[in-house]
Each structure stands twice: as C-alpha cells, then as structure tokens.
Structure 1
Amino acid sequence: MANVRIGIVGLGNMGTGHARYLIKNEVKGGELVAVADPREDQLAWAKEELGEHVARFETMEEMIASGTIDGVLICTPHYAHPEQAAKALELGMHVLIEKPAGVYTRQVREMNEAAAKSDKVFGIMYNQRTNPLYAKLKDLIASGELGEVRRTNWIITNWYRPQSYYDSGGWRATWAGEGGGVLINQDPHQLDLWQWTTGMMPTRVRAFCAFGKHRNIEVENDVTAYVEYENGATGLFVTSTYETPGTNRFEITGERGKIVVEDDQIKFWRTRVSETEFNETFKGGFGQPECWKCDVPVKGGNPGHKGITQDWVNAIANGTPLLAPGEEGIKGLTLSNAMLLSTWTDNWVDLPINEDLFYTKLQEQIAASQSNKKADDYQTLEVKGTH
C-alpha cells in the first residue's frame, strides 16, 4: 500500500517536533507531504528545514483542497482542536489531534459526533499510553490481579514553572489564551491515564482549585480533587506548578493489595488472599493477609509521540484498532472541567457534567481575562510549546 500522506496543521513547538521525525521517515508507512500555518516565518522555516518537496499552505482548508494529503496532524491552540478536527473529518481526512481534545466538553462532544458520522481514523496524541509502565498497570488491573479497585491516589506536583515561564507569552496562563492552567496544559496525560489504566470514571467530583497561587497568573495552578466511583471506591488527584522538588506518585489499592507507580518503577504489594476473603474467614482480634512485595518487570521503551503517530498510520493502512481513539479525549477533559466547575460553584459536580453551565462559567472567566485577545484570535498562534 502507498504511504499515508500527512499534512501538519500548526508549526509551533509541537508541530515542528512532529515534522522533524516525519521528515526523517521515522514513521513507517507515513510521509510528510504538506504543512499549513498562517505565519510567514514558520512557512519559511518549513521551506528551509523540510525542503521544497513539502508543500506549504496558509490554511488547513487550502491544504486539504490541494488533494495532496490523506490525513492531518492538528497542532494548533487548544480552542481550535475540535472545530478543525470536525472540519477535516467532514472533508474526508483522517485526523490526529494534539492534546487536549479541547477546552470544554460541549465543543469536544460536537467533534466526536462529527467523527461518528465519518469513516475516517480519528486519534489523539495521548503518547503516555505508549509508556510501558502504564500499559503494564492497565494490564494488572484489567486482568484482575489487583481485584476490585477501592482507592486511587495520584500526586503529580513535579510540573514546576517559574514566573518567567508564564511571562514568556501573553497567552500563557490566561482563560482567553489557553482556557485554563495546570489541568488543561500540564495534566491532560495524567487525567487520561487515571481513567484509562483503572477503566473507571467517577460518578461525582468535589475539587478545590487555587488560581494564581504564588504566581502572578489568572488560571488554576494548584488543585486538590476528591472523586467517588460507582463501586464505592474513592480517589484523590493533587497537582500544582509551584512546588519543588515535586512528586509523581500514582497509587491504586484493591482487594488484592496495592500498586505504586513512581520513579519509573511499578511495585506491587500483593496479598496472598483477597481482603474480602480474609475479612470473611479471619476470626482473630487483630490480623491481616500475608503480603508479598513484588517489583513488577516492565519491558520496552516508550516511543512517545512517534509511537502514537505510527499507531495512527497503521490504523489507516491496515485497519488495526487505535491505542488512543480521538473520541476518548473527552474523558480526561470531563475530569478537568468537573474540577473547575466544582470550584466555581463551591459544590459537588455529578458526571456527566452540566456542559452548558460550565461553558457559561468559562465565558465569564474569558470576559474578565487579563489578555485583551479573544480565544478565537489565538487560532493564528501556536501555544503548544513546552508544557
């Protein structure tokens, strides 16, 4: 079969990063043939770095109309992802979008509806799903090794960002420019992995977000969220961008023990019998199941962005299932939207969330944003830099 002809939309840090490995033919069966960006300097970069044979366009629509591509890799600002993805799907393109899926679930749901009407392959750049640590964790839970999940706890505070990082661009850490802070910029991978590895979405969320804590910014940079699941399990998600040294520790407890993912390792404290069985049969006053501490072997490297792009190309060429379907981007976004909405309303938020209420609250934040630019203005910029 001929190579899948790929066009990149948006040549910021992420777009140029994808272009560099594609132009080196590091994705088998995929070929970079075109790029689109409204900025003359970025198109000049493409001409010099990618060569004359890679076609250059100012808009995605022009690139698609040229008939030179089979699919698009969308690397534009957060707000633009759903609209551009839906448009590309409607125009007969296969689509791979950078994370996050969007800023608010109502818009992302409309994108998913467009994907449902299309017969094209729609993926999202959740490159941490290719990490063997999380693939192994997902397998341990899905296979029943841990038993029923009873608690999840993720502390992810190693996103340290100094004030100079936020000052490097007027769009950074603004409601109009990015649509949020740590939840939409740094944490989309963790919010996705939280539900993907456990196979569970909460039924309700109570969160406490701090806005501009220890930083001169308007968006959330400190979050503590408590969630409840249908089976009675509970969870905690703690994240920030001002703590150093930070922590990245994901702990899941179940009937058969406890799993901890930290420092690129998986440790499993596995009970010899399930807690349920022990509780039903043990007759002493004090006691607990025999427990074995196991270092879980994890094999293979993490192909990251290239791995997701390769997976997308394989799905187009061979019909293989996607590791990260684009439709699943709404799950992690639902969690971040719920956390913000809980804070704004100072109340519990049931899932699925009230999408219209969240949109209204978001518009209030945008209207008061320190940035003088509206979100639509940022569709001409690339804000997917170093998250």
Structure 2
Amino acid sequence: MHQVRIGIIGVGSMGNSHAKYLQANEIKDASLTAVLDNSEEKVKWLKENLKESVKVFSDEDAFFESGLVDAVIIATPHYDHASLAIKAFEYGLHVLSEKPAGVYTKQVREMNEAAEKSGKVFSIMYNQRTNPLYQKVRDLIQAGELGEIRRINWLITNWYRSQSYYDSGGWRATWSGEGGGVLINQCPHQLDLWQWMTGMMPTRMRAFCNFGKYRDIEVEDDVTAYAEYENGATGVFITTTGEAPGTNRLEITGDQGKVVIENGELDFWRLRVSEPQFNREYKGGFGAPECWKVDVPISGAETAHRGITQNFVHAILEGASLIAHGEEGIKGLMLSNAMHLSTWTDDWVEFPLDENLYYELLQEKIASSTSDKCTKSIPLNVEGTH
C-alpha cells in the first residue's frame, strides 16, 4: 500500500472539517475516497460539493462492502463511535475515531477488544496531545524534573455555552442524545491530558456534578471532582459551561517543583533540593527550599486534527508510533464516568470503575430523557462535540 484510502462516517461539522483537509491533499499519502451519512439532505449536498472521485453513501452496509476504503474516520454522535469502530474492524479497516471514545466504558472496552483482535491501526482524535505545551509537561514529569507528583489542579471554565446553543438541537445535552454534558462533550481532551501527562489514574474519586444548574438541560453543566492516587497525591478538576469570563489553568506540583499552564504559557519552578530532603536537613525554623524559575524551551507547533490524521496514516504505512492510541480513550472516559457515578450514588467511586453499575444507572437516565430523538435515530451527520 502506497496510499491510504480514507472514508469518513458522519459528515457534520467535524466530519466536514476532516473532508476539507483531505480533499485539499494536506495529508501526505492519503486520499478521501468515500463518505457515509444517513441524512438525505446532507447526502445531496455532499454529492454536489465533494470531488467526483469521492463516493457518497447513505447505506451503511454498502459503504463497508464497497472496497473503496482502507481506513475510516468516525465523526458521528458519541453513542455510535464504538459500534461503528467494531464494524469497521470486522471489515478489516483501520480506525480513527473522534473523541470521546464512547459514552460508557463497557462499550469502549468491547471496542478495544475488537481492535486488538483485528490487528488494525486504531487511533483517537486527541488532537490536544499535539500541543507542545502539554507535550513538554509530560516530558518534564517523565524525566523526573517535578519529582514525585503531589497535587494536580485543573480549572477549566472557559467552555461557555448559551441556552441557544443547547436549543439548536433536541439531542443536545440529553442523556439519550449525547450521554452527558460538559464532561462528555467539551472536556474529553482535558480528561485525557490529565492522565496522559502524569501517567497516573486515581485509586478513588468523589465528585459533585450539577445537572442543569445554569441552563435548561438534563445533563451536567457544572462539575467539581476530587481524586486520590496510590502515592498519596490528590487532584481537583473543576469545569462548567455557565461562567464568563472563564479560566483555563493547569497546575501540577511535585516534591521537586511546580509547573503551571495558563494563557498559552508554561511556567516552571524548580527546587534546588527536593522538599523531602530540605525538610529532613533544615534546622532553621522558618524557611523554605530555594526555588528557581526556569525558562523551559518550547519547540514545535500544534498540528491539531491534521497532525493526528497524518500520524494515523504514517502508522498504517510505516508502522509509526501513534500519538493517541485508540485503546487509551477508555482512560479519560473512565474519569468522566466516575464523576457521574459518584454524583448519582452520592459516594466515593473506587477504580477500576464498576462498569455494570454505571451502565445500569445510565439506562435509567436514558429512559427518562426528554430528547426528541432516541439514540438509534440520531443522524450520522450530527457531530455533537464542542
């Protein structure tokens, strides 16, 4: 294979974005050869606006049986990600899925098992992993520059969404349509980065989700979560779609220093000796370790969606290491599922998550959902992220 033939499933806002850069030949060794959408109106538009070489399908089976694609990009509503990925693997296709990996970890675990069984390349659109700032934080932690992690705080409240945004589609912000609110729609990137940068998953979590606190919606629009880790570290994650102006501030403290990302800049303070060593040796009463503010070189540019797609193609053709393995999507999703579950049960949630209990309680939410479209009938072209 010298070129990867890519098919896009779901050509809404994100699917259309992927189609544009593929048709513009911005991804080396890849071409857009087919798209699938089940909206008659969208299919008509696609036929009129895509290149003649791109086959437009409205029938799912016909798309998969066409033999026109080697890989698919899945850009449908959240509930469909796992089932479509599994079907693609069964047809011997490589898969790049939009985030989140799914709505509940039970379905995502089945998707991961199908991916492993197929032996095909499986990636997820965690495009924030291409941001040099987050890459550098991960590098500093892995290299031991911060020492042992003690505290992780992320205040991410710049996801402001008005009521008109939620009213733009009856499926939005409903349990049956999206499967969650700010955690499943806006924050999957931060939840992924939280565990990816630190290399740590909590041992337990206590969360407080407010459902429809600021907007007339079913799902969470305000969240505060507290996590504990095996080494004694703690983490706090706060997010909402109802505050303005918002803040995006990440602070990670170790026993050797502290790193902060805010306003697109990285600040790193390094202790001359570790805090535990200073505490053992210092005899002067009041005092603190000597601290240096270090200029950390940040190189490279954020390649975002194109970067993930190019990496996906290179992995297929050359065996390149993936920036975002699809199987890792379950980790960030487990964090958001745990926040929901902790709120629903009004209790601590232990890791690994009780996936069956989460699934059962989610089904109760779906059964009472006021969405004007049930999960099975959501058009593939409606991409609910962001």
TM-score (norm 1): 0.98
Conservation of the 8 A alpha-carbon contact between 2:186 and 2:385: no
Deviation per CA, 1:14-49: give whole Å up to 9, x if none.
Answer: 100100000000000111111111112222222222
Cα separation, 2, equivalents of 1:287 and 1:87: 62
Alpha-carbon shift at residue 269 of structure 1 (Å): 1.1
Cα separation, 2, equivalents of 1:129 and 1:80: 24
Conservation of the 8 A alpha-carbon contact between 2:42 and 2:381: no
Alpha-carbon shift at residue 64 of structure 1 (Å): 2.2
Cα separation, 1, equivalents of 2:61 and 2:154: 41
Alpha-carbon shift at residue 296 of structure 1 (Å): 2.2
Partner of 1:68: 68
Partner of 1:383: 382
Partner of 2:84: 84
- What letter is aligned with 2:80? A
Identity %: 65
Deviation per CA, 1:165-222: give whole Å up to 9, x if none.
Answer: 1111101110010000000000000000000000100010100000001211110000
- What letter is aligned with 1:382? N
Alpha-carbon shift at residue 386 of structure 1 (Å): 5.8
Where in structure 2 are the equivalents of 1:1-387 lying within 5 Å?
Answer: 1-378=1-378, 380-385=379-384, 387=386
- The answer for unaligned runs of 5 or more in structure 1 is none
Instruction: Compare 368-377 and 210-219 and name the one that shifted more.
Output: 368-377
SS at match of 2:147: coil
Alpha-carbon shift at residue 294 of structure 1 (Å): 2.3
- What letter is aligned with 2:302? N
Cα separation, 2, equivalents of 1:94 and 1:317: 11
Conservation of the 8 A alpha-carbon contact between 2:39 and 2:58: yes
Deviation per CA, 1:342-367: give whole Å up to 9, x if none.
Answer: 00000000011111100111011111
Cα separation, 2, equivalents of 1:153 and 1:337: 19
Cα separation, 1, equivalents of 2:305 and 2:31: 15
- What letter is aligned with 2:194? W
- The answer for unaligned runs of 5 or more in structure 2 is none
SS at match of 1:78: coil
Aligned residue-pair number: 386
Instruction: Compare 368-377 and 92-101 and name the one that shifted more.
Output: 368-377
Query: What is the aligned-residue RMSD (CA, Å)?
Result: 1.0
Cα separation, 1, equivalents of 2:372 and 2:298: 48
TM-score (norm 2): 0.98
- What letter is aligned with 1:217? I
Alpha-carbon shift at residue 281 of structure 1 (Å): 1.0
Conservation of the 8 A alpha-carbon contact between 2:170 and 2:372: no
Cα separation, 1, equivalents of 2:112 and 2:161: 33
Cα separation, 2, equivalents of 1:363 and 1:253: 39
SS at match of 1:201: coil
Cα separation, 2, equivalents of 1:50 and 1:230: 52
- What letter is aligned with 2:256? R
Cα separation, 2, equivalents of 1:359 and 1:170: 23
Cα separation, 1, equivalents of 2:37 and 2:382: 13
- What letter is aligned with 2:294? C
Alpha-carbon shift at residue 385 of structure 1 (Å): 4.5
SS at match of 2:207: strand
Cα separation, 1, equivalents of 2:232 and 2:356: 28
Runs of 4+ in 1 over 6 A off after TM superposition: none
Conservation of the 8 A alpha-carbon contact between 2:5 and 2:32: yes
Cα separation, 1, equivalents of 2:385 and 2:118: 32
